[in-house]
Structure 1
Amino acid sequence: MNSTEPLLQIEDLSVAFHQEGRTTLAVDHVSLTLNKGETLAVVGESGSGKSVTALSCVRLLPYPAASHPSGRILFKGRDMLTLSPKELQKVRGNDITMIFQEPMTSLNPLHRVEKQIGEILRRHRGLSERAARERTVELLTAVGIRDPETRLESYPHQLSGGQRQRVMIAMALANEPDLLIADEPTTALDVTVQAQILALLKEIQARMGMAMLFITHDLGIVRKIADRVAVMTDGKVVETGPTEEVFTNPQHEYTRHLLAAEPKGNPPEPDPNAPIVVETKDLKVWFPIKRGLMRRTVDHIKAVDGIDLTVRKGETLGVVGESGSGKTTLGFAILRLISSDGRIVFMGDSIDGRSWSGMRPLRSKMQIVFQDPYGSLSPRMSVGEIIAEGLRIHSGKNAQERDEAVVKVLREVGLDPAMRSRYPHEFSGGQRQRIAIARALVLEPDFIMLDEPTSALDRSVQAQVVDLLREVQERHDLTFLFISHDLQVVRALANEVIVMRGGKVVERGATRDIFEAPKTEYTRALMAAALYHEQAPPEVVAD
């Protein structure tokens, strides 16, 4: 490779997908360059071709269902599209590594964290078992995971979404690659940890001279980390240039649209005398820590530790806090998806003592939108079947009525009903999240737990979904438990907010009071971190 040549050069690249006799052009004659030590951010709405372009660089598309009608991808002067499988294997994991958007589907659910990171270190760097363990602890510490020695024994399902993503980042950085492709690497992370991870990536990049191809929909992150930015829509690059220049003087109408898009407005005013939908008293979820040959319990992770809350009909309770604070575990406990201690009352009935079968009649009344849309959608079912499944089990509607309901809810979430015969893998991450929202809405339940429902969506679609949720809530008098690390979205949707840390509530109150006059130091740190793209990242405690 000539020292004056770009590290990565994409020339006139096109990507086509072929299915059922149809050919769709996902990437349309894209050209990009990335120099050693530089960060290029590729931004655009879901379905714009960002991730497809990135996956093409390491040939991870579903071939032969995908093809490249035109173009070259030169890495260190070699065309990635013509390398043999053996040559590709040498490049992947060593010279080029990748952080994927959805960590739960990227991590092996059967292996502990230590094995998954250690395997990379032993295979690519020849480290001994002991050296690999020590290096794994260093990596976990570097990406902000608290008590890394304890987390070595954890399986992916025992970690929060943000913790899983940080494990993925540790794996990607283990071999100190020349090029890191980061596909929405901070999507699952709260704002304080976003600041940590971005600072970490920049520090490692400066030390290693590593280049980054950064795929994201978060323009605040782009401004903080990227040297140059390329804006994509409909498979084409419509604008590219130095980051500050693009932000301060955007030339293309689509770029101006992206920069102007953000969730706005206020939630519907709740009735203070409305009936209570959900109430908890001294709710606890403790996970045992087991060690030794006999796997004896030596301690507990107190994911939820004595929480009281009340949510009335038509109200949205926002739950915020750093990754691992217990937000999602709290929601799962309320829905009786995991075991817990303490009292849970739903629509006036105590449900904490109900069996799994005893909960079934209530499932249509309490729904959930999961954080990871791909992991929660069956790959063997079409979108129409996924959304209609709940109707088939709970509603008693015939096939035609179910299909009409599916068509209606797909329109509500901004998707073309004609796509209901397609499968989840044919949609972008943002589109899959909208499908998950449609599945929850179609039964018109009384209570919906929304676990980071906008985390996979670009900013303009976030605004649309926020507006949609408000409209649906007002129309059906729905009650939401809204879990999110995106404080701007929480402010637009929640009537009241509780702030969690270490399994406990550290502050609660009306949304306006929490945002404008936070009482605790921790809450003030969260609010400051939400503005990290406008100021220096705050000091935060590791997860």
Structure 2
Amino acid sequence: MSKEVLINVKNLSVAFRSGGGTTTTAVKGVTFKINKGETVALVGESGSGKSVSALSILRLLPYPAASHPTGEIFFEGKDLLKTSEQDLKRIRGDRISIIFQEPMTSLNPLHTIERQVGEILALHRGLSGQAARARVIELLTKVGIPEPEKRLNAFPHQLSGGQRQRVMIAMALANEPDLLIADEPTTALDVTIQAQILELLRNLQREMGMAMLLITHDLGIVRRMAERVYVMQSGSIVEEQPTEALFASPQHPYTRHLIAAEPKGKPPHFDAASPVIAETQDLKVWFPIKRGFLQRTVDHVKAVDGVSVKILAGQTVGVVGESGSGKTTLGLAILRLISSSGPIVYLGKRIDGLTSKEMRPLRREMQVVFQDPYGSLSPRLSIFEIIEEGLLIQKPEWTAAQRREQAAKALGEVGLDAASSLDRYPHEFSGGQRQRIAIARAMALEPKFIVLDEPTSALDMSVQAQIVDLLRELQAKRNLAYVFISHDLKVVRALCNYVIVMRNGKAVEEGPADEIFTAPKADYTKALLAAAFDLKVAHRAAIAG
């Protein structure tokens, strides 16, 4: 018996008109349907048109810059593209809801949790006062927020990433919609939180009988959650199959490319007798908690609490753990970018007592690459000016021609064409290209030691694999020492020789990467590995098979 169709998208196109009057077609004649109670995945890399197609269902694109040259979107027999704005308001948040990728930008930072969830109930159900509060508490309980009564007056910044996403889910499900659009709902979350959120969505869907449109680039999530899959590339749907059939026998080359895109390989071999580049002993970073009129210190947040690290030339030390575990704080402390206590030794010399002026000559050799390349590259500077900045400070005797030559060499090393890149700006590049530019900026100074802070987490799977390959090549070529900070254990396994697992500021387990991945001892490490790789068992089998 065929299922009843809930959403039927026919020949949908989406065009965007720029300020200069040029028009770009982002979606080209896309057709797909979602049945009642069904989970459908829309997959593809950044820029493929997934989110634009989904946002068109609720007409949430920036109109009039966005337009639909062709297409119809039928919901219960009505074309949503021709529905009045008044009727559409009644559908949004009631019959059809949406969860976005980054809850911090979706939640109002000035409103409490109770007000934000209650607003939806007031708009569509007319609930207020005690009735609304009771429903908000019920929803927060349902999505797994602990002690929900105590969270009603909290603001978004006072919640963790996972809790914020749960609040977004509570808002989306407040009126028990027929369709939930989940746009990369777990990309910004740790692996253990990701597993919890996916399980929560699946349970709530089963309980409420709603349909779900899941937008993602992670095929491991698709394999676990979806019944049918549409694969998008460059604005078009290139393949549609039931999930099991798609993984067992992908038909389109792009689908096969996506399935095979997981970071692979092993880190470069390094000599255990190599010199020690950087080392810490019992390193601590404690932030004071001050209270009262006189702001006395009453306690400390122990972001890093007695961690010892040793990094050899040619070695990659992976630091893993959930958000708030102290990973990034540890990396910044080793680089002397934040205050800490405990010895920090670089090339045999203690640097923890050096002033910022005394540290400056060492900055050339100790570099950092951050998670978000768009946030770490100035939008006002050209690529040459971005790379040149460090050279102006560290190589003041160089001429402009020498600096340009070094910048071009660095871009060439990371696989970008210098001639066509140096005079362009960050917004003109893709996420993967921007991360290559951030790596080139570090490499231009010819460092010995680099802290890589989640450098692949914001990237598509295939681009992640490319960046991992690039980092391995550069390490082998220059005998670089890396500290690689991540919560993505697939990437860590492909890149790191040694792993430190952190939780609440402490190292709960450490050892050679092979030992950590094959025979973890700590329960917390086992939980991290289970969350990261349970989603991937069938995925790996499909790749191998």
TM-score for the superposition, normalised by structure 2: 0.82
Offset at residue 338 of structure 1 (A): 3.4
Q: Alignment partner of 2:324: what SS? A: coil
The 3 A distance-change label for structure 1 pair 309 and 239 is same
Q: Distance in 1 between matches of 2:524 and 2:530?
A: 10
Partner of 2:217: 217
1:518-529 correspondence to structure 2 within 5 Å: 518-529=520-531
Q: What aligned pairs does 1:355-370 form with structure 2 within 5 A after superposition?
A: 355=355, 359-370=359-370
Partner residue in 2 for 1:171: 168
Q: Which amino acid aligns with 1:531?
A: F
CA distance in 2, matches of 1:344, 1:82: 65
- Asked if 2 retains the 8 angstrom alpha-carbon contact of 1:315 and 1:479, the reply is yes
Identity %: 58
Residue pair 1:165, 1:185 contacting (<8 A) in 2 also: no
* From 467, 470, 473, the counterpart of 2:469: 467
The corresponding residue for 2:542 is none
Partner in structure 2 of residue 489 of structure 1: 491
SS at match of 2:530: helix
Change (3 A) 1:66 1:249: same
SS in 2 for 1:483: strand
Candidates 476, 482, 502, aligned match of 2:504: 502
What does residue range 211-290 of structure 1 map to in structure 2 within 5 Å?
211-288=211-288
- Cα contact 1:388–1:402 (8 A) shared by 2: yes
Contact persistence 1:96–1:180 (CA under 8 A): yes
Q: Using a 3 Å threshold, how does the CA distance of structure 1 residues 97 and 337 change in structure 2: closer, same or farther?
A: farther
Pairwise CA distance, 1:184: 2.5
Instruction: Quote the Cα distance in structure 2 between the aligned partners of 1:292 and 1:150.
Output: 23
For the pair shown, which has the larger CA radius of gyration, 1 or 2? 2
Distance 1:435 1:318, change over 3 A: same
| Distance in 2 between residues matched to 1:150 and 1:345, nearest whole Å | 44
Tell me, yes or no, if the aligned pair for 2:192 and 2:528 is still in contact at 8 Å: yes
Matches within 5 A, 1:202-213: 202-213=202-213
Query: Deviations 1:383-405 (Å, cap 9, x if unpaired)?
Result: 55545444455444555555555
> Distance between the aligned counterparts of 1:151 and 1:506, measured in 2?
34
Corresponding residue for 2:120? Answer: 124
Q: Secondary structure at the match of 2:18?
A: strand
Greater CA drift, 400-409 or 321-330: 400-409
Q: How many residues align?
A: 526
Cα distance in 2 for residues equivalent to 1:75 and 1:478? 56
Q: Which runs of 5+ in 2 are unaligned?
A: 123-127, 539-545
Match of 2:182 in 1: 182
Alignment of 1:110-121 (within 5 A): 111=110, 115=111, 117-121=113-117
Which deviates more, 415-424 or 297-306? 415-424
What secondary structure, in the 3-state scheme, does the structure 1 residue paired with 2:494 have?
A: helix
Residue 420 of structure 1, CA deviation: 6.0
Residue type matched to 2:6 in 1? Answer: P
Q: 1:374-413 alignment to 2 at 5 Å? A: 374-381=374-381, 385-396=385-396, 402=403, 405-406=406-407, 408-410=409-411, 412-413=413-414
Distance, in Å, in 2 between the alignment partners of 1:361 and 1:151 is 50
Displacement, 1:312? 1.6
CA distance in 1, matches of 2:415, 2:147: 40
Task: Specify the SS of the correspondent of 2:187.
Answer: coil
User: How far off is 1:329 after superposition?
Assistant: 2.4
Question: Does the C-alpha gap of structure 1 residues 516 and 353 become closer, same or farther in structure 2, counting only changes over 3 Å?
Answer: same
Q: Give me the whole-angstrom Cα distance separating, in 1, the residues matched to 2:368 and 2:132.
A: 42
Stretch of structure 1 that moved more, 193-202 or 65-74: 65-74
Residues 298, 180 of structure 1: alpha-carbon distance in 2 compared, 3 angstrom cutoff: farther
Structure 1 residues 519-528 or 81-90, which shifts more? 81-90
Structure 1 CA distance for aligned equivalents of residues 370 and 514 of structure 2? 27
CA distance in 2, matches of 1:334, 1:472: 21
Q: Which residue of 2 aligns with 1:322?
A: 322
Code of the aligned partner of 1:335: L
* Residues 47-79 of structure 1 deviation map (CA, whole Å, 9 limit, x = unaligned): 322233334444454555544333244455555
Contact 1:102 1:372 in 2 (8 A): no
1:479, distance to aligned residue in structure 2 (A): 1.4
- Inter-partner Cα distance in structure 1 for 2:233 and 2:388: 31
User: CA 1:128/1:82 → structure 2, altered by over 3 Å: closer, same or farther?
Assistant: same
Cα RMSD for the two superposed structures? 3.8
Distance 1:91 1:452 in 2: 39
Q: CA deviation at 1:276?
A: 2.3
- CA distance change for structure 1 residues 405 and 241 in 2, over 3 Å: closer, same or farther? farther
Q: Look up the SS of the partner of 1:255 in the other structure.
A: helix
CA distance in 2, matches of 1:388, 1:18: 31
Q: Is the 8 A contact 1:409 1:441 kept in 2?
A: yes
Q: Distance in 1 between matches of 2:482 and 2:518?
A: 22
Aligned residue identity for 1:501:
R
Task: Tell me whether 314-323 or 392-401 shows the greater mean CA deviation.
Answer: 392-401
| Matched residue type, 1:311 | I
Deviation at 1:238, TM superposition (A): 0.5
- 3-state secondary structure, aligned to 1:221: helix
Farther-moved stretch of structure 1 (124-133 vs 49-58): 124-133
Shift of 1:429: 4.7
- Which of residues 508, 512, 515 is equivalent to 2:517? 515
C-alpha distance in 1, partners of 2:98/2:225? 17
Counterpart of 1:197 in structure 2 is 197
Distance 2:407 2:59 in 1: 35
Structure 1 distance, partners of 2:459, 2:356, is 33
3-state SS of 1:51 partner: helix
Q: Deviations over 1:22-42 (max 9, x none)?
A: 544332222222233322212
Ranges in structure 1 where 5+ consecutive residues have no aligned partner: 537-543
What is the aligned partner in structure 1 of residue 313 from structure 2? Answer: 313
Q: 1:258/1:288 Cα in 2 relative to 1: closer, same or farther (>3 Å)?
A: same
The 5 Å alignment of 1:35-46 reads: 35-46=35-46
Aligned amino acid, residue 174 of structure 1: M
Q: Deviations over 1:490-518 (max 9, x none)?
A: 11111111111222111111111211222
Distance 1:481 1:534, change over 3 A: closer
Closer/same/farther in 2, CA of residues 367 and 69 from structure 1, 3 Å limit? farther
Matching residue's letter, 1:208: M
- Aligned counterpart, 1:52: 52
Distance 1:154 1:4, change over 3 A: closer
- Distance in 1, matches of 2:312 and 2:354, equals 22
> 3-state SS of the aligned residue for 1:280?
strand
Aligned to 1:304: 304
Q: Relative to structure 1, is the Cα distance of residues 381 and 490 closer, same or farther in structure 2, using a 3 angstrom cutoff?
A: same
Cα distance in 1 for residues equivalent to 2:384 and 2:56: 29
